[in-house]
Amino acid sequence: MDTPGDRRRRERMVRDQLADCPDVTVRAAMASVPRHLFLPVGLHAGAYDDCARAIGSGQTISQPRIIARMLAALRVQPSDRVLDVGAGSGYTAALFAQLAHRGSVRAIERQGDLIAATRVRLGLLAPAVELIHGDGLATGSADTFDVIHVAAACAERPLALIDRLAPGGRLIAPIGPHAGPQRLLLIIAGIDHWLDEVEFVPGLGGVV
């Protein structure tokens, strides 16, 4: 349920936390997508606070300003093909569905305990997203993407994912020790750009 009060809380989140986000389309998407519906019911009240929130199975939904920072850096275009690695509750995938509304969004999550609820949420709120239960960090499909977003810490540059970038593609991932902190690595057309210090949950291989 998305009430007028929820919408006001989203507006305050965008106004107070995302004022320095340079991408108006990212701010508009985050004002539109009901973040609270991607959290367990008991955490709805704090969904728009300036912090990360637990979603179960040791995973989190990232702080709003960090999500905005990553999405703005990726410069998502309406026709982009997007890969979201570490989909979690599906919130970022739902944002991508708005930003790449003429393209495609594939989201991968390794935690089986999260998949069923995430599939229901996305089915209601972002039905165009293709959700896969799998290891997003492994070498697999030969499909390429214009945008790759990684929402878990990688100990080193994720070469298997970098190889799946289309010409001119963009990838962002937190790089560093699993215990944190890490730095955001943004790759644009094969060139590395190091951004903010962050702290993400570990990016683990395999499927559970």
> How many C-beta neighbours within 10 Å does residue 41 have?
8
Put the strands of the sheet holding 81-85 in their side by side order: 130-133, 104-109, 81-85, 145-150, 165-175, 182-188, 191-198
DSSP letters, 117-161, are HHHHHHHHH-TT-EEEES-TTSS-----EEEEEE-SBBSS--HHH
Catalytic positions are 62
Q: How far apart are CA 54 and CA 123, in angstroms?
A: 21
Fill in the amino acid letter for 91. Answer: Y
Q: How far apart are CA 39 and CA 46, in angstroms?
A: 9
